[in-house]
A and B are shown apart, each in its own frame.
Chain A
Amino acid sequence: MSNAFRTLLSKEVKETLRDPKILIGIIIMPMITFGVMGFFMQLSFKSIKEAALKPRMLIIDNDLNTYSQFLISTLKSNTNATLKIFNRTALSNGLKFAEDHNYPIIMVIPENFTQNVTLGLQAKIELYTLFKRLSLSEGSAASMPRALISYLNSYLVDKKLKSLAPNIDTKIFLSPIKTVNFSIIKGRIVNVPPESVVNIITSQSLTMPITVLMVLVFAMQISASSIAIEKEEKTLETLLTLPVSRLSILGSKLISSIIVAAIGSSVYLIGYTYYLGSFSSLSTIETSISAEKIGLTITPLGFTLLGISLFLAITSALVLSIVVAVYAEDVRSAQTLIGYLYFLIFIPSFALMLTDINSLPTPMKIILYIIPYTHPIIASKAALLEDYLTITYGIIYMAFFSLILLYIASRMFTTEKVITAKLSLRFKRKI
């Protein structure tokens, strides 16, 4: 790297990172936004979890017999529930108490509960969930008593069956057919139900489009600003008369934009991961299956190709935004012009977030393939499936697109176009 280029690059990075608008917009704001969102999510999930695992429950025992006692003693000894027990009381009394003392669950065991169970009749337990604040945690508070009733059900069935036929296996009797689920991934059979694979695919197919979207939008904003600010602050003319090649000036703007966009995207992704992580605190039972376990991993070759694909997408987006920003006279108009290009990123990102490109109608497919920013998103899935040919086609297309844009940008920078280019809004003049 030549000295002049290094100096230009260092100036570009310094100027960009010291710009309060960029510092706040791409580093501080995402950190605060995701931090705060994640914090509240975790707080909310913590209260849901607590409500589910340690419910406050008011029990009205109108039975006062063997099975109601059995249920209450199981609740007392096996759970962390906070219990308040009323004997032989009307629901209205219990409701008043529950409202006043914040008991979101009321369990009413009717008078003839034990008798019905013993006689083999269907017994009833009433569960009331009190919605005072319309919160998620109120809704989740009934999960434990329901689970306990379900346990009691199994216990009673088991007991009844054993009394009729001592050698019977209750499990087999109740479910004589068991489904064992397998998934075949990349030709390999894994003992995992398809729902789990879908979960992993969904999370991965969401992450990549969002990553591509954010990186490209950041990079385009920064590179467009870097050229527009030179025009706005009247520094471009001086810069272009310095004894340094015009291509070095263009290159330094591109690379500095990549550096700053990488910082911005990292901050965004850290924030986003933290935010997503806050959802995982919701699950009370560990059911997650890692992508590695089922063989959905990317090989080093896949990573390399995916990297090239992303790099070309970023490069072409940067050059495109510089070419467009040359026509703007200040940062604000540059941002407006760049805004018109966002559809090129938003369309593939949102279209491919939940849909597979091959399931789309042909005209839609063609439109998406023409948009260069579709290819890194397709590449992310193709890398998982080791479909390197698809990634390579995308790379060739994006390389071609980037080269054309680079040629246009270099022509602009080596001629007077960079100074004289202005977007003529003819319709405005006619008004």
Chain B
Amino acid sequence: MRSTSNLAVEVDNLKKYYGRIKALDGLNFKVYEREIYGLIGPNGAGKTTTLRIIATLLQPTSGHVYVFGHDVVEEAAEVRKIISYLPEEAGAYKNLSGLEYLHFMASFYSKSKDELKIMVEEAVKISGLNERLKDKVKTYSKGMKRRLLIARTLMVHPKLAILDEPTSGLDVIHAYYLRRIIKEYVKTYGVTVLLSSHNMLEVEYLCDRVALIHKGKLVLEGFPSELKSKYEASNLEEVFAKVTQIV
């Protein structure tokens, strides 16, 4: 483990190849503790690959990634103890009830029955699914499933929550509900969040800092307000359009 001051994630010259296809080409960025950091970029830019490497699912071809000082390759088991990852297309075990699913997930992070109970109670609150949690997951709508999964990700109080497109495919009501939950939760518990999104409104609303990735490289990084004024844009969508055109 290397010493870090207030660094949550450090990505250093990260490269990833899938056979001959280059997914990441020397990516560098840092995420500080208690901030919400957003990765934006067009499809195939390398956002999901980056998040998967940080979540210990994929291994870098070269370069290093540290999560709170732990190397994601060498100390993958340590990293898994402090992160909670929500993939873009995540599902839940359809033959378990929502409550059973939450119990199952919480049991890997809790050290006692009391702690487990607290985690599940918190997830119940976050999900807002109430009585429906007693039903099997296969009866849930897409929005309900995503609420359950966000609740599962946040209930364990991770040091780093990795959210890949947290509101993808959700209607306005569900998306609004989840964004509000994430923002409140981070404020209350001081969790660091690294997320990716296509939705610029979401990124602007949620993130303290954003990074634009294009063709596996970081092309822009900063505070949303700073970026908007730099590119004389009224919102991040305009910034995104201007930057991807000139790249």
Name the one of A234, A241, A244, A245 contacting B56, with C-beta atoms under 8 angstroms: A241
Do B55 and A241 have beta carbons less than 8 Å apart? yes
Residue of B nearest to A231 (CB): B91
Residue of B nearest to A419 (CB): B57
Query: How large, as a class, is the contact surface on chain A?
Result: 20 to 34
How many residues on the B side are at the interface (Cβ–Cβ under 8 A)?
A: 30
A242 at the A/B interface (Cβ < 8 Å)?
A: yes
Residues of B42-73 at the interface with A, using a CB-CB cut-off of 8 Å, are 52, 55-59
A240 at the A/B interface (Cβ < 8 Å)?
A: yes
Do B80 and A242 have beta carbons less than 8 Å apart? yes
B183 to chain A, nearest CB (A): 23
Do A416 and B57 have beta carbons less than 8 Å apart? yes
Known contacts A242-B80, A415-B59; A4 and B90 CB within 8 A of each other: no
Residues of A3-39 at the interface with B, using a CB-CB cut-off of 8 Å, are 3-4, 7, 11, 14-15, 18-19
Do A14 and B57 have beta carbons less than 8 Å apart? no
Contacts of A243 in B (CB 8 A): 77, 80-81, 108-109
Do A240 and B57 have beta carbons less than 8 Å apart? yes
Which of A18, A19, A241, A244 neighbours the largest number of chain B CB atoms within 10 Å of its CB? Answer: A241
A99 at the A/B interface (Cβ < 8 Å)?
A: no
Contacts of A419 in B (CB 8 A): 52, 57-58
Do B90 and A14 have beta carbons less than 8 Å apart? no
Do A15 and B56 have beta carbons less than 8 Å apart? no
Do B95 and A14 have beta carbons less than 8 Å apart? yes
Residues of A303-349 at the interface with B, using a CB-CB cut-off of 8 Å, are none
Contacts of B81 in A (CB 8 A): 243
B37 at the A/B interface (Cβ < 8 Å)?
A: no
Residues of A126-182 at the interface with B, using a CB-CB cut-off of 8 Å, are none
Which of B18, B83, B95, B108 neighbours the largest number of chain A CB atoms within 10 Å of its CB? Answer: B95
Residue of A nearest to B136 (CB): A18
B93 at the A/B interface (Cβ < 8 Å)?
A: yes
Do A237 and B87 have beta carbons less than 8 Å apart? yes
Q: How many A-B residue pairs have CB under 8 A?
A: 70
Q: Measured between alpha carbons, how far is A245 from B78 in the docked complex, in Å? A: 11
Known contacts A14-B96, A19-B95; A234 and B55 CB within 8 A of each other: no
Interface string of A102-119 (1 = CB under 8 A from B): 000000000000000000
Contacts of B87 in A (CB 8 A): 234, 237-238
A233 at the A/B interface (Cβ < 8 Å)?
A: yes
Residues of B166-219 at the interface with A, using a CB-CB cut-off of 8 Å, are none
B29 at the A/B interface (Cβ < 8 Å)?
A: no
Which of A233, A238, A416 neighbours the largest number of chain B CB atoms within 10 Å of its CB? Answer: A238
Residues of B96-132 at the interface with A, using a CB-CB cut-off of 8 Å, are 96, 100, 104-105, 107-109
Residue of B nearest to A244 (CB): B108
A235 at the A/B interface (Cβ < 8 Å)?
A: yes
Contacts of B86 in A (CB 8 A): 238
Contacts of A15 in B (CB 8 A): 93, 95-96
A100 to chain B, nearest CB (A): 61
Do B108 and A235 have beta carbons less than 8 Å apart? no
A11 to chain B, nearest CB (A): 5
Do B109 and A420 have beta carbons less than 8 Å apart? no
A234 to chain B, nearest CB (A): 4
Contacts of A415 in B (CB 8 A): 59
Q: Measured between alpha carbons, how far is A243 from B52 in the docked complex, in Å? A: 15
Do A233 and B80 have beta carbons less than 8 Å apart? no
Which of B92, B94, B100 neighbours the largest number of chain A CB atoms within 10 Å of its CB? Answer: B94
Q: Measured between alpha carbons, how far is A4 from B96 in the docked complex, in Å? A: 17
Known contacts A3-B107, A4-B107, A415-B59; A241 and B80 CB within 8 A of each other: yes
Do B96 and A235 have beta carbons less than 8 Å apart? no
Q: Measured between alpha carbons, how far is A19 from B91 in the docked complex, in Å? A: 16
Contacts of B90 in A (CB 8 A): 234-235, 237-238
Contacts of B91 in A (CB 8 A): 233-235
Do B89 and A416 have beta carbons less than 8 Å apart? no
B240 at the A/B interface (Cβ < 8 Å)?
A: no
Residues of A230-268 at the interface with B, using a CB-CB cut-off of 8 Å, are 233-235, 237-238, 240-245
Do A416 and B59 have beta carbons less than 8 Å apart? yes
Contacts of B108 in A (CB 8 A): 4, 7, 242-244
B117 to chain A, nearest CB (A): 15
Residue of A nearest to B152 (CB): A238
Contacts of B52 in A (CB 8 A): 237, 419
Contacts of A14 in B (CB 8 A): 95-96, 100
Do A241 and B58 have beta carbons less than 8 Å apart? no
Residues of A405-420 at the interface with B, using a CB-CB cut-off of 8 Å, are 415-416, 419-420
Q: Measured between alpha carbons, how far is A3 from B96 in the docked complex, in Å? A: 19
Q: Nearest 4 CB-CB pairs, A to B? A: A18-B95, A234-B91, A233-B91, A241-B85
- Chain A interface residues (CB < 8 Å from chain B): 3-4, 7, 11, 14-15, 18-19, 233-235, 237-238, 240-245, 415-416, 419-420
- Chain B interface residues (CB < 8 Å from chain A): 18, 52, 55-59, 77, 80-81, 83-87, 89-96, 100, 104-105, 107-109, 149
List 21 A-B pairs, Cβ < 8 Å. A4-B107, A4-B108, A7-B107, A14-B95, A14-B96, A15-B95, A234-B87, A234-B89, A235-B93, A237-B55, A237-B57, A237-B87, A237-B90, A238-B87, A238-B90, A240-B57, A244-B80, A416-B58, A416-B59, A419-B52, A420-B58
